[in-house]
Amino acid sequence: MPKVSVKVKWGKEMYPDVEVNTEDEPVVFKAQIFALTGVQPERQKVVCKGVTLRDDSWANFKLSNNALVLVMGSKEEDVPAAPVEQTRFVEDMNESELASALDLPEGLINLGNTCYMNATVQCLKTVPELRTALLSYDKSSGGGTAGALTSAMSETVRALESGGAGACAAAVARLLHALHAAAPRLAERGAGGQLAQQDASECWSEIVRALRSRLPISQEPDSKSLVEQFFGGTLDVELVCSEADEPPTRSSETFLQLSCFISQDVKYLQTGLRSKMSEQITKMSETLGRDAVYTKTSKISRLPAYLTVQFVRFFFKEKESINAKILKDVKFPLELDVYELCSPELQERLAPMRNKFKELEDAAVESALGSKNKNHGDSKKEAKKKTVVPYWFNDDVGSNNSGYYRLQAVLTHRGRSSSSGHYVAWVARGSGWLRCDDDTVTAVTEEEVLKLSGGGEHTDCRLTHRGRSSSSGHYVAWVARGSGWLRCDDDTVTAVTEEEVLKLSGGGEHTDCRLTHRGRSSSSGHYVAWVARGSGWLRCDDDTVTAVTEEEVLKLSGGGEHTDCRLTHRGRSSSSGHYVAWVARGSGWLRCDDDTVTAVTEEEVLKLSGGGDWHCAYLLLYGPKVLEIPHEEDEPMVTDVSGEPAGDPPTALA
């Protein structure tokens, strides 16, 4: 039966009564299909009863009258054209290509220890009301040094918005000149004539002070400053004498930022803020006629839209005459609730908006429980139209009406003192974050931002021994820091060179000492010291010392009774801080932190090269958490909250 009439189905199209001659080559039938569908023969897949038609033979492809033939394939014009440029993956891009692909904003060039200023500008720029005011600032309005600094800030923000690298470089040079004119102490130079590093907190204060005087809300004579309106808060203060029966003294104080003092008990930002709200001070008592101890209790009576918090990480060290740094790890949240720091009157005013946020959480839980078993596969929901609710009180534009804040910028410091080291800004953008390290801007995750809570890092530590046995004599730790080393002899820390460390090969006062461990955790098991002596080694097992060969020492790579153990230290001296053992096991390593043992990679062990502490949060900028409500025509969900960081939109100036 060489000729048959079949039905051809291609997608949604059906072609009946197609005559096929099986005595012809299969390619002839495919040419017929091409004439009907426009699908090139080489793009066709022809199937009948589960059998695919070959180009050179009908083989098992049996056709009969009215048989259904399925055709799969697309027209040539429906196939996407090959890209003109070869696809480049993020991992293969250099910094400039990455910045272009991710649409990263411009950074600010470092003019020589000016990272403190660059980081400050990047953080302040995240406030939309401030950014809008600066972009519309009249540079010809005068104002002395404060006016010049505000004008330079305006030019810098404009350059960051759309000016490009060249414009940013020129703008930041003018900003530095204006900052030095407004605050000459920030123009100090080092012994070599270069600009000295400055405290970013002082720079922040100077810029905010200038903006406070030059950016009024309106042109009226007694108009409130934009800075006071959006950054300024009020405290209700009560003083009670602890030594005399005096009536309490009540007053009001204003603030532009809150301080988080770091003590031994402070592990979280909220704890540090709370401790500052109740403190002991000494002042003159009129009743006693002398200084007396008073309890000062403060409560916030006005919350600003943007809350600045400073970690008090530096204290003056008289011996070295520097502002030494406190590296303590103090956790801070991405969302901050300051309700408990507020006065009863303000708490009452905050309640309505907080109830709306609570309704949202309850509605979200109910919605999640209700749809848990209803959704199968991929389903797309259309985005609901929402109305943004102002975050301020109707009679107080620029305030916060809920007590809820979102973190939108972090200014960090890396180094040992406020007048050295390096400052970096970390700013929120959409659902992600940007790391603004001078003119290098890179995308980072929330997890990386939360790691900026301090605590320093672990650094490679070589242990040396002087004595006759491992249970006697004296041990000294030699800790790597950057390109140099520190000799930590109990509470005496001195800087040494790498050459001095390399001399610890045995034969002298202190000799190189390898530490091995046998057991399940660093707080149990047994340690043995293997001490170099001349061309050989000694195995110091408590009071038993035996000579061993270098081959035996090289076998301490893990997997046996004793395994190679790297010791790391975090802290200021060998008699304080914290030690951790990193023990080799087979081809991997274990991190033995007292009774907590975790598997780590060799790469993590190789990172224990020192270099000082990691970036620690120094200044935090929180913006208001924004409430969004669906339009009435949408399904009646109570409320919703913007997933964007505080800022755009709404703005109080809109």
**Selection from 491, 455, 465 nearest residue 612 by Cα:** 455
Strands (E), 519-615: 526-533, 536-541, 544-548, 563-570, 578-585, 588-593, 596-600
Q: Which of these is catalytic: 413, 422, 517, 569? A: 422
User: Rounded distance, CA 231 to CA 215, Å?
Assistant: 13
User: Rounded distance, CA 226 to CA 256, Å?
Assistant: 12
Q: Give the distance from CA 653 to its chain's centroid.
A: 29
CA-CA-CA-CA dihedral for 220, 225, 230, 234, to nearest 10: -110
Longest dimension (CA), the chain: 125
CA-CA-CA-CA dihedral for 105, 106, 107, 109, to nearest 10: 170
Q: Which residues contact 43 (CB under 8 A, 6 or more apart)?
A: 73, 74, 75, 76, 79
The pair phi, psi for residue 571, each rounded to 5°, is 150, -170
The number of C-alpha atoms within 13 Å of 97 and in the hemisphere containing its C-beta is: 8
3-state secondary structure of 421: coil
Q: Give the distance from CA 531 to its chain's centroid.
A: 43
User: Rounded distance, CA 152 to CA 206, Å?
Assistant: 13
User: Rounded distance, CA 547 to CA 438, Å?
Assistant: 55
Distances (CA, A) of 106 to 102, 125, 322, 544: 12, 12, 34, 64
282 and 334 in contact (C-beta within 8 Å)? no
Q: Is 123 a catalytic residue?
A: no
- Terminal CA-to-CA distance of the chain, rounded, Å? 81
Task: Output the six-digit token pair for 492.
Answer: 């005496």
User: Apex CA 537: angle with CA 536 and CA 543, to 5°?
Assistant: 145
374 and 595 in contact (C-beta within 8 Å)? no
Number of H helices and number of E strands within the chain?
14, 34
Q: Is 422 a catalytic residue?
A: yes
The pair phi, psi for residue 617, each rounded to 5°, is -60, 130
340 and 278 in contact (C-beta within 8 Å)? no
3-state secondary structure of 335: strand
User: Rounded distance, CA 535 to CA 189, Å?
Assistant: 51
- What does DSSP assign to residue 141? G
Q: Which residues contact 108 (CB under 8 A, 6 or more apart)?
A: 117, 118, 121, 122, 156, 160, 168, 172, 436, 438, 439
Q: Which of these is catalytic: 48, 115, 342, 436? A: 115
473 and 429 in contact (C-beta within 8 Å)? no
In single-letter form, the type of residue at position 69 comes to V
Residues classed as catalytic: 115, 422
